Structure 1
Amino acid sequence: MTELPSDNPEIIALQPRLSDSDAGVRRIALIALADLEDPDGLPWLTQALGSDSDAQVRAEAARLLEAWEEPDVVAALCAALADADEAVRGAAAQSLSELKSLDAGRVILPWANHADAFVRSSALRALRELRLPDSVPVARQALQDSDAFVRREAVGILGWLKQLDALPELARLASDDPDTEVRRAATGALGLASDLVVLPALQAALRDSEWQVREEAATTLGKVGLSEAGPALIDALQDSYWQVRLRAARSLGKLRFVDALDGLVTLLGHSISNLRKEAALALGELANSAAIAPLQAAEHDSDPEVRKAVRIALSQLQKAVG
């Protein structure tokens, strides 16, 4: 490793170990260097990340750089996304995802167009929570990417940035994308708007062949808050997966969809306690006195969490209906 200038005597003392022929010694020296939290140590870390002969040392450098947002550091981490070693690539991607500044995002942005799909998806993942407006065009282009991971991360960016004009594209992915996780992510992103335009896509997602997408659709319909979703959510109370039924019950409660009363009452007798709990809470949200009697019958449920939910629901109802 090339020796780099520093006025810090602690860094100077570490230099022989940072250049040691033993990779284990170099790795421990990098950890000691990072513990100093001195910016003068960053060139050593970025140099190790980019050129050390040992993959474990490079991966350690990538992990140690996660707290720094200097442009040179961010650029080094981006370059490491294309490292030959999987562990190095993964560590660099994780460190990039921890960044918080828009300036870091501007360094990352060009890497979202890299030839390698892992680099593209990792760059988009890092950009997601930065909410950098400049990432919108790149994300919309990435919705057409051949790689499912890239498309999923692009969906995440558009959802976080609440891009309403992207709703038609997100709706298309929610219905038609061949990848389950992309459909699921797109379905969730449709919750950024309380608009009837998203209802057909969410209703279609509630009939998806994969239960994870149906679960996301049931959840998102509750967030969107459209009473028109009520009938489809009632049908979802009969889904073959209890996870979907649970989310449908929760959303029906949020919507205060009175016509769901019979379906929710039926769930009070289900063998899965989590379903009974959600049904009880949803019944409390309906503000319908007809729910009081079935809830009172459930007051002695065998599960304490269900009993607690029943008490909460009855208290809610008593306040609502007098």
Structure 2
Amino acid sequence: MRLVATERCTDNPEILDLLPRLEADDAGVRRIALIELADLEDPDALPWLTDALLVDGADDVRAEAARLLEAWEEPEVVQALCAALADGAEAVRLAAAQSLSELKSPEAGQWILPWTTHADAFVRASALRALRELRLDDAAELALRALEDQDAAVRREAVAVLGWLKYAPALPALAKLAEHEPDTEVRRAAIGALGLARDLAVLPALVGALRDPAWQVREEAATTLGKVGHAQAGPALVAALGDGFWQVRLRAARSLGRLRHAQALDALADLLGHAIANLRKEAALALGELGQASALQALQAAEADSDPEVRKAVRIALAQLRGAA
């Protein structure tokens, strides 16, 4: 079915000039006409764009309409984009999901909320993704329930919503995901979201995640422990400096610096001789944050490091130590 533009009303002569092409038999002609219509940036054009999204018979035209509606946040546009999440064509669904994710007005979120319980997992995940940055309080309980969704993508987007909202009541459920979730990306997201509050109760889940089989999860745990900022995490982070993946070591070093964990000094000093420059740089910065004069000798020996970024980090660390002294 093609768009029937004559059923819409407008006095804009530029829109009226486009009507014959908007009704053309050729889908390519209709698609180009839609682009020109959107370029007018006239609210009068919205009925044609939303109709094209919902009823045009060509997948390419519907997908183009979904992309062109990205900049509009009117209720009828948001509702049309939500409906397009269940379109039979993948290109249309993806374009609609992307346009919804660009929304900035929390008011638009009210039209998206009902779609978080749709029968289709892609629709549920896309609706949650669209709600993420809107920080709509009404989304918190829906996202919390979605943590038990059968689809991993839905659970991952639900975690993101709760993280953006900094929804503290979700911490026990997020800690449970961090420990028992089978999907690596969901575990990683849940661990990152545990940093939304400086709650001592999340430490067991985060420390346990430093032993996760996936290095990406261990890396996230090392990062989040620094954000949560409890000194009790120090020994586990020192142990993580010996992780088999340098990315985990780097994040552990950064977090130990933030925690100013004095017992990390020797392990951090050892990293100044590591083959990876980024890790040497992070170790130097962490030693500076520890503020211990006993790190001076190791840092002075690293002043001649072959990497300029490492030498810069060493200078910063030495300045911190001398300032503290």
Structure 1 length-normalised TM: 0.98
Alpha-carbon offset, residue 140 of structure 1: 1.0
Q: Encode CA deviations 1:21-68: one digit per residue, 9 max, x unaligned.
A: 111111111111111100000111101111111111111111110110
Separation (CA, whole Å) in 1 of partners of 2:25 and 2:268: 68
Q: 1:7 aligns with which of 11, 17, 31?
A: 11
Unpaired segments ≥5 residues, structure 2: none
Partner of residue 152, structure 2: 148
- The amino acid of 1:250's aligned partner reads R
Identity %: 72
Partner of residue 20, structure 1: 24
1:107-122 pair list within 5 angstroms: 107-122=111-126
SS at match of 2:249: helix
Separation (CA, whole Å) in 2 of partners of 1:283 and 1:20: 69
Say whether 1:105 aligns with 2:143: no
Cα RMSD after superposing both structures: 0.7
- Moved beyond 4 Å, runs of 4+: none
Q: 1:131 aligns with which of 115, 135, 138?
A: 135
Alpha-carbon offset, residue 260 of structure 1: 0.4
- The amino acid of 1:306's aligned partner reads V
Separation (CA, whole Å) in 1 of partners of 2:28 and 2:284: 58
Partner of residue 198, structure 1: 202
Q: 1:315 aligns with which of 312, 319, 323?
A: 319
Partner of residue 75, structure 1: 79
- The amino acid of 1:18's aligned partner reads L
Say whether 1:276 aligns with 2:288: no
Alpha-carbon offset, residue 292 of structure 1: 1.0
Separation (CA, whole Å) in 2 of partners of 1:141 and 1:18: 43
Separation (CA, whole Å) in 1 of partners of 2:69 and 2:112: 15
Alpha-carbon offset, residue 72 of structure 1: 0.4
Separation (CA, whole Å) in 1 of partners of 2:235 and 2:145: 35
- The amino acid of 2:250's aligned partner reads L
SS at match of 2:274: coil
Partner of residue 222, structure 1: 226
SS at match of 1:299: helix
Alpha-carbon offset, residue 196 of structure 1: 1.1
Separation (CA, whole Å) in 1 of partners of 2:242 and 2:27: 59
Unpaired segments ≥5 residues, structure 1: none
Alpha-carbon offset, residue 319 of structure 1: 0.6
- The amino acid of 2:98's aligned partner reads Q
Q: Encode CA deviations 1:110-140: one digit per residue, 9 max, x unaligned.
A: 0000000000000001111111111111111
- The amino acid of 1:161's aligned partner reads L
Separation (CA, whole Å) in 1 of partners of 2:185 and 2:148: 15
Partner of residue 261, structure 2: 257
Separation (CA, whole Å) in 2 of partners of 1:278 and 1:16: 63
Q: Encode CA deviations 1:163-192: one digit per residue, 9 max, x unaligned.
A: 111111000001100000110000001001
Alpha-carbon offset, residue 20 of structure 1: 1.3
- The amino acid of 2:59's aligned partner reads A
Q: 1:244 aligns with which of 248, 252, 262?
A: 248
Separation (CA, whole Å) in 2 of partners of 1:18 and 1:264: 66
Alpha-carbon offset, residue 195 of structure 1: 1.7
Partner of residue 67, structure 2: 63
Partner of residue 304, structure 2: 300
Separation (CA, whole Å) in 2 of partners of 1:277 and 1:26: 56
Partner of residue 90, structure 1: 94
- The amino acid of 1:139's aligned partner reads A
Separation (CA, whole Å) in 2 of partners of 1:133 and 1:59: 31
SS at match of 2:204: helix
Structure 2 length-normalised TM: 0.98
Separation (CA, whole Å) in 2 of partners of 1:82 and 1:320: 61
Separation (CA, whole Å) in 1 of partners of 2:295 and 2:27: 68
Q: 2:48 aligns with which of 26, 44, 50?
A: 44
Separation (CA, whole Å) in 2 of partners of 1:163 and 1:99: 21
Separation (CA, whole Å) in 2 of partners of 1:2 and 1:23: 13
Alpha-carbon offset, residue 19 of structure 1: 1.2
Separation (CA, whole Å) in 1 of partners of 2:220 and 2:199: 17
Alpha-carbon offset, residue 157 of structure 1: 1.1
Separation (CA, whole Å) in 2 of partners of 1:103 and 1:71: 9
Separation (CA, whole Å) in 2 of partners of 1:317 and 1:19: 73
